[in-house]
């Protein structure tokens, strides 16, 4: 339905035709032209030209080329027949982007998931990669929060590392790009904890043509020391010859938090607080005067009348509008794709605003038959106002519901704690400019041998400014902070590609060299104390501190790949990359990462022909290889002393203990897979099973303070991930009026530590919380004491000792000297930091002009500790300044009460986590629902198409998550340690968008 | 395009490949050394030894940071308003001493010791420099090691076993394992170090001074209950005339290290480090009901002493009555004032008490020492010569008033004399036998795990 045929001269007596075969406007050398009536066939030459003789009127001629939809044309006397083939949309012939090249799905023997543009376009999520959740089996995506431009966590086939980044490598149009946070926002003047933004949020989702996710070692080894976490390849759109097409899409959306944490209200607080006061033997008549609940001039009468929901002070209804315009087109020599987009968003967080402008130019030009040049240039400007999480909505439980937001005179009540005051009086402006570009020339040295040289750059500049008003500061000092950061990366690669086929043998050889370097600089200046409130820049402060940092890393790589297939039946691919990096220790500068994969298209065999009507296609695949993880920090291999001045004299202090042997983590992966298509391709199944072993894990190996530090970076131990992924696709209807496709994906992964070197007893990683690594347990668990329940007789918590006995609080304190001592001494490894399985269900339904697409995700089996809300809430009355969760209402009151909440008292906080706080978090969520309508247009309309749609994101969620959590999709922290425990939760957003897409 | 051009492109292709190859040949491309920070092979001269000592002093800011708050909480001199963080430190009878802030002294102390031990094991004799330059560095290194181990030993010793923390006097690698030392062994090391510091400072003062080391020695011997040496050192400090009492008590704290009675101070410089006892003390003790955290416990010994002599300048000039609370704010007057670890009045009180302990009787000199401190505070001097028991009680009270909310003397002295601590709710007291074993800092769990430490 998409093809164009250009008919020229008509001559009924001609017995010979000639013409050009093009693919998406480019000449296709080697295309097959076959007269189906007599079986005579030819292939097109280097410029796509062909000549076919002996053609009779009425003969059917087939034009085909791998990766493109074939066309059949009835010969009706044309002298010249030029055919433009369109890229295949059927799965088997689909072109799949692999590292440094492309391959046809059918000939692929590695494990790669392809996500199409439609699934990402127009996403209302903070960043495009968050829309990948549920689109590829075994790719677990967690969205940071509902904040604009929030971070993402992606684990492809489980967590490979303990502390080295386990995020996949992102490659945009062949350039390895910087991902992760924009700036360290907790380094300024307060605790932002918003994740520092997300560099990938700069990418315009509507520019993306396809996303390929490389999963097994055979696919990732071409990225060598940086491939082991999986690789996400993003390919942007390019133009095609023909009329210029203009595409305009606009949408508007509203959003709100998916859930809110359930805290007690004012009257409930007073009831519990008075009960705790009384239970601890205090004089009930002195509650109001002595307990401390009345702060900042509040009276009892005012407190009794106040009922503030502090969560509502930090959250609001969000609003967003997007506009995207693109133009694409070109002629035989030059093709272009130019786009611009604009996003203006006010997220669900009070004070959070985000404005993004993107501009893209993709150009390809054919200089002559042999030489092509081109460029892709992308610029983004983001101007945003992040807001603090810990001090914003995260501090909702550090205000009491009996406290008002404002005093009678309109000023903020108790401003140093007031959620609203902090959000209003804490200004943060973050500007990020990103420039991502590459330029290439490709030259055909011979018909079979081509050379490609490509230079790419990725420049990121961030400019952050903060100001905190004195009235919200604990020491009444106004603070200002400015930070300028710069990251400049360049990348230069030269590739030789040799393609040859002889007989049924086809070979595709790639060899290349790549050099890249990234430099980063950060300059921070902080000013404290200003003589006048109109002064807001650090330079005007009475006290000025400065900080400067600079670092760099480089990679040098040699890569090679051989793809071979025999008659598209037997497939073999061998890959190797040798990577050197400045990040590695003196004695381990270079590493080699090889991989091999084989595939067998069994359905192409003669003996299979009997089955072929039922099983249209069947392939079995296997691969084995090794790739690495170089995210070990830039100078971790070297010992160093950092500045620690004293009294204006230069001082130094040990900051790192180096290791000449420090190197990458290497991951060995074995993969076996099966692809089946049945019943006229209406049923498809992809199953992969894998086993990954990370060797030489990079660990912050805990060392004693006697060495001067708490940890050193070292390579030690092994982690194993093994699992199964399955994707099932069924076409339920495929008629002219009605098409309905459903897909189901499922992934099971088991993560465990299999070796800890000389530490069979486990390793406790220093830092906040009690993160531990134990043999035969997943990485990310915690060691915590086991809470058994509440003693019905005394109302005290009961804990399990390592001796197997149960102890009430009083008994525990008597046994160990104090409860803190007891809890420290009776910890066991505990918890499930990862879901047992994850998956998704998606459906795509088209009826006449209507369509409805939906995506549901699920995750089952994870456990979690909402530590801030739970711990503070349990001990809310020791300090009378914390609002407990509503679940505290179920507390023990009288002997014989069987409860899960101990008696409320004024006992002081015990910070240690216990299993009491652990809850299971399973969920099923409607990630996306899009309902749209395509208008019928008059034939002479200047419009090509008009489409209206409504998009619902995260709209429905079913979960057993406790009321101490905003949302079951819970971004705990970027790494793999301490995964069960987040101090303060951050809400996620659900959105409804209305959009229109018009093509001219 | 003509043949010649094609040929050029071909040439260009080979040229580009060749350029790539040069990267491979040029291994320098992968040599990226950290542009910031000093590598360990440079620690070979006196300048870097000095820098290590300065770095250790910087760590002392963190080492002392929470001491005044934690130890004043132990003796319940303050009550906490609306702070879940600090409530556990004055309600320790309920749950014991939490790790949360107490681990800070261990962490910073050990890091400072690493730098100090690096200096003390370096071959300073062979480094270029004068003997005075060398003595400065060595004096400071011994001084800090004594100061750190003295304090750690005081708080980490488990009375029931007499065991303390590991004693480290060399630079240990990451694979070295240690075990706890006895309190007695640490005391011996501390005494040896402080005497060495005194010897080196005799040649030339470093960051700290000979009188600081001598005063620290007096404090050390006093709490090690070697009263004759404590007396001797305190006497030396007082007689040296290097320090003199401020006329006005509030001036001591605003002047900080510049005060005439400050003997050993930690300099606050927020451009270097915002963290330290000043920032913690000022934030928590400030006279603001909602921003500050701690105010005088109306049931505490200090409150009782204040009620008995309200005109004592150490109350009237240093405490602020407001909002129905008594703030103990003026010892931490700003975030920028220095933290005085040791000042002259302690020497007078130590000399007075030590002389009684040595001689078993009260001398006129001892009374005169205490009166030096009382006179300055505008309190009626002690008349005549009280009985030994009365005099010791008076000195205890005097020390309590003079040194409360400072580095921790209130707690150490109360425990030394096995006196009771006022109960949490103010009703009754907790005897020494009950708190002695409970008021011990917990060793950080990671250290216990790595070395399998057992006290």
A859-867: average pLDDT: 90
CA A77 to chain B, closest CA, distance in angstroms equals 35
pLDDT higher than 70, residue A973: yes
CA–CA distances in Å: residue A935 to residues A4, A243, A770, A943:
23, 22, 59, 11
CA B236 to chain A, closest CA, distance in angstroms equals 27
pLDDT higher than 70, residue A155: yes
Percent of chain A with pLDDT over 90: 56
pLDDT confidence of residue A191: 63
Query: What is the DSSP track for B133-198?
Result: HHHHHHHHHHHHHHHHHHHHHHHH-BTTTTB-S----S---TT----PPBHHHHHHHHHHHHHHHH
CA A745 to chain B, closest CA, distance in angstroms equals 42
Query: What is the DSSP track for B412-429?
Result: HHHHHTT--EE-TTSSSE
Bridging pattern class, strands A169-172 and A231-236: parallel
pLDDT tens track for A302-333: 999 999 999 999 999 999 999 999 999 988 88
Other beta carbons less than 10 A from residue B378's beta carbon: 14
- Residue A398 to residue A764: CA distance in whole angstroms: 31
CATH no. of A5-85: 2.60.40.10
Which two structure tokens, joined as six digits, stand for B428? 């009754």
pLDDT confidence of residue B22: 63
pLDDT tens track for A178-192: 888 888 776 666 666
Contact check, Cβ <8 Å, B1/A494: no
- Residue A733 to residue A735: CA distance in whole angstroms: 6
pLDDT confidence of residue B240: 93
Tell the residue number behind the tokens 């500068």, with chain if given.
A589
Residues of B with Cβ-Cβ distance to A764 under 8 angstroms: 445-446, 449
pLDDT higher than 90, residue A621: yes
A95-226 CATH fold: Ferric Hydroxamate Uptake Protein; Chain A, domain 1 (2.170.130)
Q: What contacts B340, CB < 8 A, 6 or more positions away?
A: B252, B253, B256, B257, B259, B262, B264, B265, B406
Query: What is the DSSP track for A888-901?
Result: GGGB--STT---SB
Phi, psi of A828 (to 5 degrees): -130, 155
Which two structure tokens, joined as six digits, stand for A556? 């040098």
Q: Does B98 touch chain A (CB under 8 A)?
A: yes
pLDDT higher than 60, residue B311: yes
Other beta carbons less than 10 A from residue B310's beta carbon: 10
Q: Does A560 touch chain B (CB under 8 A)?
A: no
Q: Does A582 touch chain B (CB under 8 A)?
A: yes
pLDDT tens track for A395-450: 899 999 999 999 999 999 999 999 999 999 999 999 999 999 999 999 998 888 99
Which two structure tokens, joined as six digits, stand for B326? 């008594």
- Residue A698 to residue A41: CA distance in whole angstroms: 58
Which of the residues B90, B96, B102, B285 would you substitute to probe the A interface, choosing the one with the greatest number of A C-beta atoms within 10 Å? B96
A193-214: average pLDDT: 87
Q: What contacts B169, CB < 8 A, 6 or more positions away?
A: B117, B120, B145, B189
pLDDT confidence of residue A680: 86
pLDDT confidence of residue B3: 46
A357-374: average pLDDT: 93
pLDDT higher than 70, residue A290: yes
**Structure-model confidence comparison of residues A761 and A259, the more confident one:** A259
**Structure-model confidence comparison of residues B144 and A502, the more confident one:** B144
pLDDT confidence of residue B9: 64
pLDDT confidence of residue A193: 67
pLDDT confidence of residue B450: 83
Residues 37-66 of A with CB under 8 A from B: none
Which of A283-297, A758-772, B100-114 is predicted least confidently? A758-772
- Residue B124 to residue B135: CA distance in whole angstroms: 10
Residues 794-823 of A with CB under 8 A from B: 813, 817-821
- In sequence order, the β-bridge partners of residue A362 are A337, A376
A798-810: average pLDDT: 94
Instruction: Find, among A466, A486, A490, A488, the residue nearest to A478 by Cα.
Output: A466
Which two structure tokens, joined as six digits, stand for B373? 């401190």
Rama region for B159: left / alpha / beta (φ>0; ψ in -120 to 50; rest): alpha
B44-56: average pLDDT: 94
Out of A125-129, A546-550, A735-739, B144-148, the most confident range is B144-148
* Residue pair B339/B64 in contact by the 8 Å Cβ criterion: yes
A269 sits in which H/E element: helix A266-279
Average pLDDT, chain B: 91
Which of A435-439, A686-690, A840-844, B272-276 is predicted least confidently? B272-276
Quote the ipTM score. Answer: 0.88
- Residue A905 to residue A878: CA distance in whole angstroms: 7
Residues 305-364 of B with CB under 8 A from A: 335-336
Q: What contacts B2, CB < 8 A, 6 or more positions away?
A: none
* Residue pair B390/B361 in contact by the 8 Å Cβ criterion: no
Instruction: Find, among A197, A199, A131, the residue nearest to A170 by Cα.
Output: A199
- Residue A27 to residue A83: CA distance in whole angstroms: 10
- Residue A906 to residue A208: CA distance in whole angstroms: 57
Tell the residue number behind the tokens 């005060």, with chain if given.
B259
Confidence of residue A893 (pLDDT cuts 50, 70, 90): very high
Residues of B with Cβ-Cβ distance to A653 under 8 angstroms: 52, 55-56, 58-59, 111, 115
pLDDT confidence of residue A911: 84
pLDDT confidence of residue A476: 87
Instruction: For residue B98, give the chain A residue with the closest CA.
Output: A820
Cβ pairs A/B, distance under 8 A: 289
- Residue B169 to residue B171: CA distance in whole angstroms: 7
Confidence of residue B2 (pLDDT cuts 50, 70, 90): very low
Q: What contacts A301, CB < 8 A, 6 or more positions away?
A: none
Residues 74-93 of B with CB under 8 A from A: 80-85, 87-88, 91-92
Average pLDDT, chain A: 89
**Structure-model confidence comparison of residues B353 and B85, the more confident one:** B353
Q: What is the dihedral of CA B346, B335, B77, B245, to 10 degrees?
A: 20
* Residue pair A717/A773 in contact by the 8 Å Cβ criterion: yes
B267-296: average pLDDT: 92
- Residue B247 to residue B260: CA distance in whole angstroms: 10
Q: Where along chain A do the CATH 2.170.130.10 domains lie?
A: 95-226
**Structure-model confidence comparison of residues B430 and B40, the more confident one:** B430
Phi, psi of A648 (to 5 degrees): 65, 15
Which of the residues B1, B12, B18, B20 would you substitute to probe the A interface, choosing the one with the greatest number of A C-beta atoms within 10 Å? B20
pLDDT confidence of residue B249: 93
Q: Does A516 touch chain B (CB under 8 A)?
A: no
- Residue A15 to residue A52: CA distance in whole angstroms: 9
Confidence of residue A6 (pLDDT cuts 50, 70, 90): very low
pLDDT tens track for B20-38: 666 655 667 888 888 888 8
Contact check, Cβ <8 Å, B37/A645: no
Residues 449-508 of A with CB under 8 A from B: 451, 453, 474-477, 492-494, 496
pLDDT confidence of residue B24: 58
- Residue B255 to residue B272: CA distance in whole angstroms: 19
pLDDT tens track for B368-408: 999 999 999 999 999 999 999 999 999 999 999 999 999 99
A773-777: average pLDDT: 88
**Structure-model confidence comparison of residues A752 and A38, the more confident one:** A752
Q: Reply yes or no on domain B41-449 having CATH 3.50.50.60.
A: no
* Residue pair A34/A41 in contact by the 8 Å Cβ criterion: yes
Instruction: Find, among B329, B393, B417, the residue nearest to B75 by Cα.
Output: B417
pLDDT higher than 70, residue A10: no
């Amino acid at each position: 339905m998409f093809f164009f045929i250009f008919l020229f001269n008509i001559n009924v007596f001609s017995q010979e035709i000639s013409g050009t075969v093009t693919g998406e406007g480019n000449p296709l050398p080697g295309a097959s032209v076959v007269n189906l009536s007599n079986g005579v066939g030819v292939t097109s030459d280097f410029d796509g030209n062909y000549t076919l003789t002996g053609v009779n009127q009425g003969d059917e001629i087939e034009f085909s080329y791998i990766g493109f939809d074939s066309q059949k044309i009835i010969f009706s006397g044309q002298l010249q027949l030029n055919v433009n083939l369109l890229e295949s949309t059927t799965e088997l012939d689909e072109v799949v982007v692999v590292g440094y090249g492309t391959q046809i799905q059918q000939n692929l023997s590695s494990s790669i998931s392809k996500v199409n543009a439609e699934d990402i376009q127009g996403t209302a999520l903070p960043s495009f990669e968050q829309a990948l959740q549920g689109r590829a089996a075994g790719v677990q995506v967690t969205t940071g929060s509902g904040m604009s431009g929030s971070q993402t966590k992606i684990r492809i086939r489980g967590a490979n590392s303990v502390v080295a980044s386990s995020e996949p490598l992102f490659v945009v149009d062949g350039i390895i790009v910087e991902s992760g946070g924009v700036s360290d926002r907790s380094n300024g003047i307060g605790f932002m904890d918003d994740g520092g933004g997300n560099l990938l949020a700069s990418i315009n989702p509507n520019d993306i043509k396809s996303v390929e996710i490389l999963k097994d070692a055979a696919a990732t080894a071409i990225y060598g020391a940086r491939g082991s976490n999986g690789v996400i390849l993003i390919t942007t759109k390019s133009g095609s010859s023909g009329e210029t097409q203009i595409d305009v899409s606009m949408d508007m959306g509203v959003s709100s938090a998916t859930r809110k944490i359930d805290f007690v209200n004012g009257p409930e607080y007073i009831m519990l607080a008075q009960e705790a006061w009384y239970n601890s033997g205090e004089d009930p008549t002195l509650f109001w005067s002595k307990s401390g609940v009345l702060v900042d001039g509040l009276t009892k009468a005012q407190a009794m009348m106040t009922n503030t929901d502090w969560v509502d002070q930090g959250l609001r209804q969000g609003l967003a509008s997007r506009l995207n315009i693109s133009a694409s087109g070109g002629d035989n020599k030059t093709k272009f794709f130019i786009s611009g987009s604009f996003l203006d968003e006010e997220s669900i967080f009070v004070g959070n605003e985000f404005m993004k402008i993107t501009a893209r130019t993709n150009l390809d030009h054919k200089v002559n038959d042999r030489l092509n040049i081109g460029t892709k240039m992308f610029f983004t400007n983001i101007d945003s106002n992040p807001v603090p999480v810990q001090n914003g909505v995260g501090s909702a439980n550090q205000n009491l519901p009996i406290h008002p937001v404002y005093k009678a005179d309109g000023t903020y009540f108790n401003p140093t704690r007031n959620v609203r005051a902090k959000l209003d009086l804490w200004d943060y402006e973050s500007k990020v400019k990103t420039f991502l570009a590459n330029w290439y020339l490709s030259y055909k040295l011979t018909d079979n041998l081509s050379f490609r040289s490509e230079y790419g750059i990725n420049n990121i500049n961030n400019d952050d400014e903060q100001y905190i008003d004195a009235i919200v500061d604990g020491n009444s000092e106004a603070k200002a902070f400015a930070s300028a950061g710069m990251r400049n990366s360049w990348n230069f690669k030269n590739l030789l590609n040799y393609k040859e086929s002889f007989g049924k043998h086809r070979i595709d050889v790639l060899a290349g060299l790549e050099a890249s370097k990234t430099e980063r600089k950060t300059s921070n200046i902080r000013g404290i104390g200003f003589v006048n409130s109109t002064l807001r820049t650090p330079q005007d402060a009475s006290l000025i501190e400065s900080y400067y940092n600079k670092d760099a890393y480089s990679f040098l790589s040699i890569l090679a790949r051989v793809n071979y297939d025999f008659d598209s039946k037997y497939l073999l691919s061998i890959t190797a990359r040798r990577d050197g990096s400045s990040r590695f220790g003196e004695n381990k500068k270079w590493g080699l990462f090889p991989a091999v994969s084989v595939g067998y298209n069994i359905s192409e065999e003669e003996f299979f022909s009997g089955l072929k009507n039922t099983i249209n296609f069947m392939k079995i695949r296997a691969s084995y290889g090794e790739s690495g993880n170089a995210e070990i920090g830039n100078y971790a291999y070297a010992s160093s002393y950092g500045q620690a001045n004293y009294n204006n004299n230069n001082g130094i202090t040990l900051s790192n203990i180096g290791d000449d042997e420090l190197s990458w983590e290497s991951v060995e992966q074995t993969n076996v897979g099966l692809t089946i298509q049945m019943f006229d391709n209406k049923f498809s199944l992809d199953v992969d099973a894998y086993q990954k072993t990370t060797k030489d894990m990079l660990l912050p190996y805990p060392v004693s303070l006697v060495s001067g530090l708490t940890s050193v970076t070292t390579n030690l131990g092994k982690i194993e991930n093994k699992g199964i992924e399955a994707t099932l696709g069924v076409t339920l209807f495929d008629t002219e009026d009605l098409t309905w496709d459903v897909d189901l994906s499922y992934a099971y992964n088991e993560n465990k530590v299999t070796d800890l070197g000389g530490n069979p007893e486990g390793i406790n990683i220093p830092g906040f919380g009690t993160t531990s690594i134990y043999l035969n347990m997943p990485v990310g668990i915690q060691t915590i004491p086991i809470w058994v329940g509440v003693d019905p007789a005394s109302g005290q918590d009961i804990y399990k000792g390592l001796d197997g006995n149960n102890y009430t609080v009083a008994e525990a304190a008597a046994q160990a000297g104090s409860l803190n001592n007891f809890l420290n001494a009776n910890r066991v490894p505990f918890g499930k930091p990862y879901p047992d399985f994850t998956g998704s269900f998606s459906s795509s339904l088209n009826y006449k002009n209507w369509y409805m697409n939906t995506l549901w995700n699920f995750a089952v089996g994870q456990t979690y500790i909402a530590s801030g809300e739970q711990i503070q809430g349990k001990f809310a009355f020791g300090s009378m300044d914390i609002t407990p969760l509503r679940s505290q209402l179920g507390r023990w009151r009288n002997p014989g009460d069987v409860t899960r909440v101990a008696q409320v008292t004024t006992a002081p906080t015990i910070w240690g986590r216990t299993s009491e706080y652990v809850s299971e978090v399973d969920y099923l969520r409607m990630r996306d629902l899009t309902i749209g309508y395509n208008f019928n247009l008059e034939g002479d309309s200047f419009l090509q198409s008009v489409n209206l749609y409504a998009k619902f994101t995260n709209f429905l969620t079913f979960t057993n998550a406790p009321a101490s959590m905003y949302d079951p999709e819970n971004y705990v922290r970027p790494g793999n340690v301490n995964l069960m425990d987040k101090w303060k939760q951050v809400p996620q957003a659900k959105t409804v968008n209305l959009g229109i897409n018009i093509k001219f | 395009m003509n043949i010649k051009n094609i040929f050029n492109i071909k040439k260009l292709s080979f040229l580009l490949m060749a350029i790539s190859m040069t990267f491979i040949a040029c291994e320098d491309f992968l040599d990226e050394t950290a542009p910031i920070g000093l590598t360990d092979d440079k620690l070979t001269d006196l300048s870097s030894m000095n820098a290590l000592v300065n770095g250790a002093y910087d760590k002392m800011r963190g080492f002392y940071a929470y001491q005044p708050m934690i130890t004043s909480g132990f003796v319940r001199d303050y009550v906490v308003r609306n702070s879940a963080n600090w409530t556990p430190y004055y309600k320790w009878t309920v749950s014991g001493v939490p790790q949360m802030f107490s681990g800070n002294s261990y962490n910073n102390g050990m890091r400072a010791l690493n730098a100090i031990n690096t200096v003390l094991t370096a071959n300073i004799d062979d480094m270029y420099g004068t003997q005075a330059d060398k003595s400065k560095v060595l004096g400071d290194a011994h001084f800090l090691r004594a100061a750190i181990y003295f304090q750690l030993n005081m708080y980490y010793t488990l009375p029931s076993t007499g065991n303390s923390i590991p004693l480290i006097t060399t630079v240990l690698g990451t694979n070295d394992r240690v075990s706890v030392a006895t309190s007695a062994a640490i005391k011996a090391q501390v005494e040896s170090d402080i005497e060495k510091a005194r010897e080196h400072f005799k040649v030339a003062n470093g960051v700290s001074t000979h009188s600081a080391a001598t005063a620290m020695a007096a404090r050390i011997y006093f709490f090690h209950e070697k009263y004759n040496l404590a007396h001797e050192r305190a006497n030396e400090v007082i007689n040296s005339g290097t320090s003199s009492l401020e006329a006005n008590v509030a001036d001591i704290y605003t002047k900080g290290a510049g005060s005439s009675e400050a003997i050993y101070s930690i300099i606050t410089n927020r451009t270097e480090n915002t963290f330290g006892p000043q920032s913690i003390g000022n934030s928590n003790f400030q006279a603001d009901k909602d921003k500050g955290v701690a105010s005088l416990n109306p049931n505490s010994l200090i409150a009782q002493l204040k009620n008995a002599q309200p005109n004592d300048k150490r109350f009237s000039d240093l405490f602020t009555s407001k909002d129905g609370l008594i703030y103990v704010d003026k010892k931490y007057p700003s975030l920028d004032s220095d933290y005085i670890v040791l000042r002259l009045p302690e020497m007078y009180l130590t000399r007075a008490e030590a002389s009684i302990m040595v001689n078993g009787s009260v001398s006129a000199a001892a009374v005169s020492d205490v009166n030096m401190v009382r006179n300055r505070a505008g309190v009626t001097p002690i008349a005549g010569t009280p009985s030994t028991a009365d005099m010791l009680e008076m000195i205890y009270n005097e020390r309590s008033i003079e040194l409360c909310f400072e580095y921790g003397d209130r707690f150490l002295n109360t425990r030394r004399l096995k006196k009771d601590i006022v109960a949490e709710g103010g009703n009754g007291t907790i005897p020494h036998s009950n708190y002695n074993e409970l008021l011990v800092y917990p060793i950080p769990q990671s250290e216990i795990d790595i070395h399998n430490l057992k006290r």
